[in-house]
Structure 1
Amino acid sequence: MNIIETKRLILKEYSINDIPELNIILSDPITMKFWPSPFTLQQTESWIHNNIARYKNLGFGRWAVILKDNGNRIGDCGIMISEIDGKQENDLGYIFHHPFWHKGYAVEAADACKKYAFNSLGINRLCANMAFDHEASRRVAEKIGMKKEKEFLNSRNRNFLTYVYSISRNE
């Protein structure tokens, strides 16, 4: 089921059939260099199963990002409820396979997810968190109107200094 379409992208719900293609992305050490480690196949399977459960229980989750022109899966983007610095937040996240970096896809997908969250889901606030040195992720957040809210040491990611960006529906 397609959730969001943009000029160049389709964001759709995951199915178990997406595991092999998503695992290529999530197991890549370059793509996942800001995560604690690249995913194993089992972690990719859990990622998809957890998102399928989120669709059923919350009506949203992370979605496969697919290029309209050729059907290639290039990343993952969407919203999860996550603990960020001890608080439950609507967490906008994005992971794009490194061959597709610097082409504007992350901004396009993240902005579409932000609009979907505010306009279709009725969410009032979104956060994004990233390692302090993940400049590209910070630029994506800034380009979609998010502002840096705070910094914290992230126990879920090797105690790295982490930046939290946020935006409210009325901004």
Structure 2
Amino acid sequence: MNFIETEQLILRHFTDEDVSDLFLILGDKEVNKFLPMFTLENIDEAKLYLKEKYLDKYSKQQGLHLAICLKNDNIPIGYVNISADDSHDLGYGLRKDFWGKGICTEACLAIIDKLKQTDIPYITATHDINNGGSGKVMQNIGMQYKYTYKELWQPKNIEVTFRMYQLNFDKQNDRIYQKYWDLYPIHYIEKL
């Protein structure tokens, strides 16, 4: 699952040659605002991030970590990930000049289509309640809101209120991933 093609997009592994494009994404303070890491400051940090978060994981076959590229140039403008842990957490990010064009939704739907052909029974995703655009993507791809919780987010050391969404691929529609609910004492169900 290291290459997926959609109507507008190519989802593929990052390569060493993509370091400048990854820096354009993760070096932007506005893009980074809702990410669980600090903004990358320079190309050297981007090289290290690329190695640790993508290239090393490819060699170990840990999770799914793909660049989002437009078909016309195959240059990374974002990323989409599925974690290797029991949350099967869906994460995505996109350069801000491509926001609001349905690109993350298209990429995530393609990933979901491929995941349904595996033994992964569900995916989860969380978003900061102040990041409504990310929540819209989750809703657009069929994920269902399950609960809200507060976490002291590291390494930024800020309290964040997250909404947790889930999409079950099997017939266990009542399954809810409980880890965040159990881990964080402030949790509740909102009426959205």
TM-score range, shorter chain: 0.7 to 0.9
Give the match for residue 85 of structure 1. Answer: none
Distance 1:95 1:143, change over 3 A: same
RMSD: 2.0
Give the match for residue 11 of structure 1. Answer: 11
After TM superposition, list the pairs within 5 Å mapping 1:1-171 onto structure 2: 3-35=3-35, 36-41=37-42, 42-49=44-51, 50-58=53-61, 60-81=63-84, 88-119=86-117, 121-157=118-154, 158-170=158-170
Is the contact between residue 152 and residue 163 of structure 1 (CA under 8 Å) also seen in structure 2?
A: yes
1:2 is displaced (CA, Å) by: 5.0
Q: What whole-Å deviation, never above 9, does each CA across 1:61-89 have from its counterpart, x for those lacking one?
A: 2211110023332111121235xxxxx41
List alignment gaps of at least 5 residues for structure 1.
83-87
Which structure: larger Rg?
2
Rounded Cα–Cα distance in structure 2 between residues aligned with 1:45 and 1:77? 18
Rounded Cα–Cα distance in structure 1 between residues aligned with 2:45 and 2:127? 20
Q: What whole-Å deviation, never above 9, does each CA across 1:4-56 have from its counterpart, x for those lacking one?
A: 11000001111222111101111101212212532234553343223222223
Structure 1 SS opposite 2:31:
coil
Give the match for residue 183 of structure 2. Answer: none
Which structure's residues are more often strand, by fraction?
Answer: 1
1:152 is displaced (CA, Å) by: 1.4
Rounded Cα–Cα distance in structure 2 between residues aligned with 1:59 and 1:160? 27
1:166 is displaced (CA, Å) by: 0.7
Is the contact between residue 3 and residue 11 of structure 2 (CA under 8 Å) also seen in structure 1?
A: yes
Residue type of the partner of 1:39?
L
Taking only the aligned residue pairs, the percentage that are identical comes to 25
Distance 1:91 1:56, change over 3 A: same
Task: Give the alignment's TM-score, normalised by structure 2.
Answer: 0.77
Q: What whole-Å deviation, never above 9, does each CA across 1:95-133 have from its counterpart, x for those lacking one?
A: 0000000111010001111222221x3211101111111
Query: Number of paired residues?
Result: 165
1:156 is displaced (CA, Å) by: 2.8
Rounded Cα–Cα distance in structure 1 between residues aligned with 2:56 and 2:41? 20
List alignment gaps of at least 5 residues for structure 2.
174-192
